Copies of this chain bind each other. A is one copy, B any other.
Amino acid sequence: MAKSFSTRDENYSQWYNDIVKKADLAENSAVRGCMVIKPYGYAIWEKMQRALDDMFKETGHVNAYFPLFIPKSFLSREAAHVDGFAKECAVVTHYRLINDPDGNGVVVDPMAKLEEELIVRPTSETIIWDTYKNWIQSYRDLPILCNQWANVVRWEMRTRLFLRTAEFLWQEGHTAHATKEEAVEETEKMLGVYADFAEKFMAMPVLRGLKTLNERFAGAEDTYCIEALMQDGKALQAGTSHFLGQNFAKAFDVKFLNKENQLDYVWATSWGVSTRLIGALIMSHSDDNGLVLPPKLAPIQVVIIPVYKNDEQRIAIVEKVNELMGKLKAKGISVKFDDDDSKRSGWKFNEYELKGVPVRIAIGPRDLENNQVEVARRDTFEKTTVSFDNLDTAIEQLLTDIQDNLYNRVLNFREENTRKADTWEEFISLLDEKGGFVLAHWDGTPETEELIKEKSKATIRCVPFNNPQEEGKCILTGHPSKERVVFARAY
């Protein structure tokens, strides 16, 4: 088949861009760094939202909505937070435009300058904790378990569709608790929700662990993360859950009367995943023929393509297909019948392959005679002939198989690309030649971590939960170390 785009081997980065573009997922807009999420890409996001939202609600969370703007002074309240977030951001300084006296459109009205500038939220801890202050008086008001679906803006210099954009969509959970234990439990619980979502819906196995001090969220006491490995051997942080301690409560003076009738600061967590997950999804499964989607997040799970030469054949096929569609829909399977007469069936085969539709059913006059259809799966390209009898059950099973196969394929890839390095030379040559996760000893200091990053461009992705303890020597300094941590070059 003639390829209209790059393969992964030729140019991985171009391959990614081509898939985003040709599968109609997103595009750059006229505003630098801001993307347009096209309907097919947005439909994937809607599926992700629905699944995550259900999981949040099952774990007792409710949604709310907080302002887009944050007063500039709020960002300075938490010392670490301001360093992390108050730098590259969109600043609103004026609230009015007037007609240009020179007749060239509109200009900013110099009289309409804000007393205090407003920042377009890069994350909402500050405005939310300013709000929670009024919601919390006693332990009876706790916990507060709010989530928000919103857009945020971080003025990134180098942007890539989905992976790093100035504006992106996300959810951010912000919870308030009476005790440290409860807040830590919440942080862990939500990381578990993210890991479950990544593995069960995205079919993307993830490492679960803790970030080091250097990689921690600005303002957190601990950052828990899930890390995935992409096909080019680079890591991608897929979700984070932060234990914020009492930092934001102290910054915004949020105290409560505890059960012992004493005033104490409230304990906090925050956690988020974003449209970046769509980038991770693309890079986890797709191949040189285009997008590959796990059935649980595919906007179209099954496409049916009729193959006919005349109207009589077409009518017979349509009748049979309608019957099949009814059965599939009854099983909750999203199915599209593409009977567009202006396109050849070969073109359609190609198009739905490019768009990653998990299952394609082709049906022609001979199939009708034989009471069968041709079923092709997107993940393995395998084609089989399946009888019409119980076709709905067979398709349902096939979707499960594809979901499992994608997960296992990525898991195998990750296992094959997780290696140990015991010397600096080994470490660098693994990163340069193979990529992947490299398990290596590190002396535990932020300074060494920073040096390793400078020299190798690799970062510590996480210290995995239940990490095996083993004596060793730091690959850079040779100082003693008690455990290996996970290094990788990352998105």
Contact = CB atoms under 8 A, between A and B. Distances in A.
A69 B90 contact: yes
Interface in A24-61: 27, 29-31, 34-39, 42-43, 45-46
A127 B28 CA distance: 12
Contacts of A95: 88-91, 155
A36 B106 contact: no
Given A82-B105, A153-B68, A63 B88 contact: no
A158 interface: no
B97 A66 contact: no
A444 B131 CA distance: 49
The count of identical subunits is 2
Contacts of A277: none
B71 A30 contact: yes
Interface stretch (A114-122, A233-241, A388-396, A398-406): A114-122
A137 interface: no
Nearest to A131: B36
B167 A68 contact: yes
Interface stretch (A73-81, A176-184, A325-333): A73-81
Contacts of A120: 68, 92, 120
A64 B275 CA distance: 13
Contacts of A91: 92-97, 108
Given A29-B66, A42-B65, A105-B82, A93 B96 contact: no
Contacts of A105: 72-73, 75-76, 82
B67 A36 contact: yes
A455 interface: no
A70 interface: yes
A11 interface: no
Contacts of A46: 63
A321 interface: no
A43 B63 contact: yes
Contacts of A117: 108
Contacts of A342: 140
A62 interface: yes
A159 interface: no
Interface string A447-466: 00000000000000000000
A153 B121 CA distance: 14
A87 interface: yes
Interface string A337-378: 000001000000000000000000000000000000000000
A52 to B, nearest CB: 14
Contacts of A86: 97, 106
Contacts of A38: 64
Nearest to A90: B92
Contacts of A167: 67-69
B70 A31 contact: yes
A92 B95 CA distance: 9
Contacts of A150: 151
A146 interface: yes
Contacts of A73: 105
A169 interface: yes
A73 B105 CA distance: 7
B106 A75 contact: yes
A130 interface: yes
A64 to B, nearest CB: 5
A46 B86 CA distance: 32
A30 B63 contact: no
A207 to B, nearest CB: 30
Nearest to A118: B31
A106 B92 contact: no
A460 B473 CA distance: 81
Contacts of A42: 62-65
A15 to B, nearest CB: 22
Q: Which 3 A-B residue pairings sit nearest by Cβ, starting from the closest? A: A76-B105, A34-B67, A39-B62
14 contacts: A27-B134, A29-B130, A30-B74, A30-B130, A36-B66, A37-B65, A45-B65, A46-B63, A86-B97, A87-B98, A91-B97, A93-B93, A93-B94, A120-B120
Given A65-B169, A86-B106, A87-B96, 20 more contacts: A29-B131, A30-B74, A34-B67, A34-B68, A36-B66, A36-B131, A37-B65, A39-B62, A42-B64, A46-B63, A73-B105, A75-B97, A76-B105, A82-B105, A87-B97, A88-B96, A90-B92, A92-B120, A96-B155, A150-B151
Interface of A: 27, 29-31, 34-39, 42-43, 45-46, 62-76, 82, 86-98, 105-106, 108, 117-120, 127, 130-131, 134, 140, 146, 150-151, 153, 155, 167, 169, 342
